[in-house]
Structure 1
Amino acid sequence: MTAVDERSGPTRPFPPGFVWGVATSSYQIEGAVDADGRGPSIWDAFSRVPGAVAAGESGDPACDHYRRWPQDVELMAGLGVDAYRFSVAWPRVFPDGGGRADRRGLDFYRRLVDALNERGITPFVTLYHWDLPQALEERGGWRVRETAERFAEYAATVHGALDGVPYWITLNEPYCSSITGYAEGRHAPGAREGHGALAAAHHLLVGHGLAVARMRATARPGERIGVTLNMSPAVPASPSAEDAAAARRMDLMVNRQFTDPLLGGAYPGDMAEVYGEISDFSFRRDGDLALVSAPLDFLGVNYYYPIHAAAAPYGQPDPALRSAFDIGVRTVAPDGPPVSGLGWRIEPRGLHDTLTGLAGRYPGLPPVFITENGYGDAGELDDTGRIAYLRDHLAAAAEAIGAGVDVRGYFCWSLLDNFEWARGYAARFGLVHVDYATQARTPKASYHWYRETIAGQR
């Protein structure tokens, strides 16, 4: 795949009806963490642990979207997007994780949904984008089945309260919620566990299945329900058999332990071999696979970069991952591909390979939306690097569509610069620059490029 002029738009037309959107998440943009009865989340707690987040920052201020949302809707209207993917903050609806829903939290999202629909912007609602109520974490978090059950109740409540939402996403990136949060400790709740992380991964999928069942029982005509996974193809660092085996182990941890149950109706056959002594799957119950593998109306795919994997001696876990898992893999940085402002490898081909690989592995793959894809830098207004990144990844998506993958839409991450989890506010992914001292919004060059790209595809 060849690079393109970063100022040009896509040369290949996308299919009629292709959805052009932007994405955000609640904890990253809303702020107002103690407004209108919102309870604490695991990210509120984690951000207060010394050293957990760069510069000791938190999502307390974020982009003040909770109060400034009308301005942000107007930015989307000016951008010309078809859709907006956002998440609901569980602690705004159930401050303690369950019980009686707080009307004030639901009313906030009702107002947002109504405003989007009035402007012809389709809401895509994500129910869980990592802000678990802290009260549930204190009762075991995703390690325990109760959290999956509370999630289904929360999902049913939000689904019932928000009319005018045609697309529902249960979970965002369960890999990050379970492995990054419970095994690597880089995300909330900051645990470094083996068995606990595997239990969390399973219970997230069970929560998804329970939520789908509850929502489908009361679904309105035309509603569609899916889930979003972060997908990183695992690429062997060399042609050796050892590195090929290491890449397959990495593929299991990052991808297949989620895609196989969701899309294939089975747990990966090599899970026990890869995870070794922590492979106690006593948290699984009869009937779980049937719940988890209920047919999806669509699949969300988040893609940023592939993982280049090499074999490593067991007993020496990769320090880059800091994981409680030891699967005999280390990640390497290959020569050649450029990097973003954050040092992430820029390999658009990986998006094409992710999409075609899913279609090849899972016959009957549901329609796909690219629900996140974006470029991080220090916040330049003349962000030619972001334009080139988006342009090349759109070209990769177009090639996958040409190869027969049913890709229905693309959501740029992100509308706004925001709180980027453990990186704090220094990492900026927005089409719109945010001055956090004043909360002033300034569209970047990429905002205008994306607007022109969308207009040119209609």
Structure 2
Amino acid sequence: MDHHASRTLSTATTASVPGAVPDADIRKARFPDGFLWGAATAAYQVEGAWNEDGKGESIWDRFTHTPGKVRGGTNGDVACDQYHRYEEDVALMSKLNLRSYRFSISWPRIQPTGTGAPNMKGLDYYSRLVDALLAAGIRPWCTMYHWDLPQALEDRGGWPNRDLAGYFADYAGILAKHLGDRITTWAPFNMPWAIAYMGYAAGAFPPCRTSLVDFLKAAHTLGLAQGQAHRAVKAASARASFGSAYEMAPAYPKTAGEADRAAAERYHAMNNVFFLEAAMTGRYPNAFVGEAPLDLMGFRPGDETILKAPLDWIGLHYYTRRVVSDASDQQHFGGGSFSGTEIESGGPGGRDPYTRFNAEMPREGPLTEAGLELWPRGIYDLVTRISREYAGLPIEITESGCSYLDAPYEEENSRVPDVRRIEWYRQVLAELARAIADGAKVRAFHAWTLLDNFQWAEGHTERYGLIHTDFRNQKRTIKDSGLWFSRVAATNRLDW
């Protein structure tokens, strides 16, 4: 394949697109020596083996086994079968020149009911995965929880139950004790805001509750669990480096008016830095209109001390931006809804009665097949702001990527010519390189995702991978974007 021809095709289609980065700037972009290029996955989305070797049921097992919940009627019972094919996947990571693999551990694989003695067969799987990564020169980067709560703990009340903070700390300690000699890069949660809001307020993800009080209680339990897990991991492993994997989107006010600017700040406080600020200071940021509803959250005296557990580095995801407007003067009639891509459609009076804003994803730039706007400038604005507000802490991009449904093309030896994905990465990474050149302390970038996988409630209808997965036979095919990414990882340049 002539990758220059592929690049020409892709840039020709975006030359006049709003927000696009000029091709000359992309060719000049450089990343620093030692920059870590990686990919990210989640246990439920890739592992399969949903009930093997003593693994317990998770809330996602229960959800996907319920008819009508997942697009296409699929589930994660097999997914990418990485539980059995991890050695093949590590070899593919080496072909892509990756130096960091962000994976998650399935809590019910370690503690089938969420408490008690560890399941050693589950721990042995992750031990073998970590050894394979280290043998390939790839950093094992562990997310301790990527949404798959043991169903038994949901049956005890789920994240609104404050007791889960202690259970999670016990689980984190088990992981650090058994794997902390080899895993040094840890984060407790993937997207804690989404765990709380999508599961307990919007009802879009399991356990599909629609209670704003449950959301507030869940958020506080997650904040407490973050702090307690930090101390448990540090106590068990002297080598541990503890950070985060927060979803973030730059928020732009809809108008220049003071009310919309204040609403955009509330969005930033709630969706971007709510849990980060809690870890760094022991206090939640001012994300609310009026007084914070601490009573509804279940806040107790002394919780500030539990919350505070300063991070060693900040991990954040970037996909797209939001435009935010004020809703504090409108009557609230219930929260907005969410699609499977987590894009809000605000209800009358704002998303909820506490933050009182409407957040929209504009459609000025091109949309991916998941419906997300490509807006490269957003990653520049986001990382420069976080770098400024939390000066001194390194930043890692923990997820960033796009969904396009390109498949192997038989007439060209089954290559996958996904030129739109290459262009998405060229644009976004050029703006990330500019942020680094302007002083942002970003040390790593993880593509979402390594393999096409089970994409939560969207099933198999979205494909984010650098590698194509044929779910009928588990055949992996590196896409053109994966070949392109491998050259970027080898050279720290985008002009391929």
Superposition TM-score, scaled by structure 2 size: 0.86
Q: 1:293 aligns with which of 292, 308, 327?
A: 308
Q: 1:440 aligns with which of 472, 475, 488?
A: 475
1:382 aligns with 2:417: yes
CA displacement 1:227-286 (0-9 Å, x = unmatched): 1110112212233334333323333331242232123432223536287xx663452233
| Match of residue 350 from structure 1 | 378
Q: 2:224 aligns with which of 206, 214, 217?
A: 206
In structure 2, distance between residues paired with 1:128 and 1:359: 25
| Match of residue 303 from structure 1 | 318
Mapped contact 1:93–1:106 kept (Cα < 8 A): yes
The equivalences for 1:260-271 within 5 A come to 260-271=277-288
1:395 maps to amino acid: A
Mapped contact 2:141–2:183 kept (Cα < 8 A): yes
CA displacement 1:157-199 (0-9 Å, x = unmatched): 0111113112111111101111111111111211111111111
| Match of residue 330 from structure 1 | 358
- The structure-2 alpha-carbon separation of the partners of 1:274 and 1:11, relative to structure 1 and needing over 3 Å to count, comes to farther
CA displacement 1:42-73 (0-9 Å, x = unmatched): 11112233432212322112111111111111
Mapped contact 1:147–1:207 kept (Cα < 8 A): yes
Q: 1:96 aligns with which of 97, 102, 113?
A: 113
Give the drift of 1:2: 4.6
CA displacement 1:22-59 (0-9 Å, x = unmatched): 11010000011011111011111122334322123221
CA RMSD of aligned residues (A): 2.2
- The structure-2 alpha-carbon separation of the partners of 1:382 and 1:274, relative to structure 1 and needing over 3 Å to count, comes to farther
The equivalences for 1:43-62 within 5 A come to 43-62=60-79
CA displacement 1:68-126 (0-9 Å, x = unmatched): 11111110011111111100000100000011111100000000000111111110011
| Match of residue 295 from structure 2 | 280
In structure 2, distance between residues paired with 1:164 and 1:384: 37
| Match of residue 425 from structure 1 | 460
1:325 maps to amino acid: D
1:259 maps to amino acid: L
Deviates more, 1:92-101 or 1:384-393: 384-393
1:182 maps to amino acid: Y
1:122 aligns with 2:139: yes
In structure 1, distance between residues paired with 2:214 and 2:471: 37
Give the drift of 1:5: 4.9
| Match of residue 196 from structure 2 | 178
Mapped contact 2:321–2:361 kept (Cα < 8 A): no
Give the drift of 1:131: 0.6
1:194 maps to amino acid: L
Aligned residues: 453
- The structure-2 alpha-carbon separation of the partners of 1:363 and 1:117, relative to structure 1 and needing over 3 Å to count, comes to closer
In structure 2, distance between residues paired with 1:200 and 1:400: 34
| Match of residue 391 from structure 1 | 426
Mapped contact 1:233–1:307 kept (Cα < 8 A): yes
1:69 aligns with 2:86: yes
- The structure-2 alpha-carbon separation of the partners of 1:116 and 1:372, relative to structure 1 and needing over 3 Å to count, comes to same
2:394 maps to amino acid: P
Give the drift of 1:394: 1.3
In structure 1, distance between residues paired with 2:438 and 2:291: 33
| Match of residue 332 from structure 2 | 315
The equivalences for 1:31-46 within 5 A come to 31-46=48-63
Identity %: 39
The alignment partner of 1:143 has SS state of coil
1:389 maps to amino acid: W
5+ long unaligned stretches in structure 2: 1-18, 339-343, 408-415
Deviates more, 1:311-320 or 1:22-31: 311-320
| Match of residue 137 from structure 1 | 154
| Match of residue 125 from structure 2 | 108
1:159 maps to amino acid: A
- The structure-2 alpha-carbon separation of the partners of 1:89 and 1:4, relative to structure 1 and needing over 3 Å to count, comes to farther
Superposition TM-score, scaled by structure 1 size: 0.93
Mapped contact 1:10–1:453 kept (Cα < 8 A): no
In structure 1, distance between residues paired with 2:451 and 2:26: 21
5+ long unaligned stretches in structure 1: none
| Match of residue 371 from structure 1 | 398
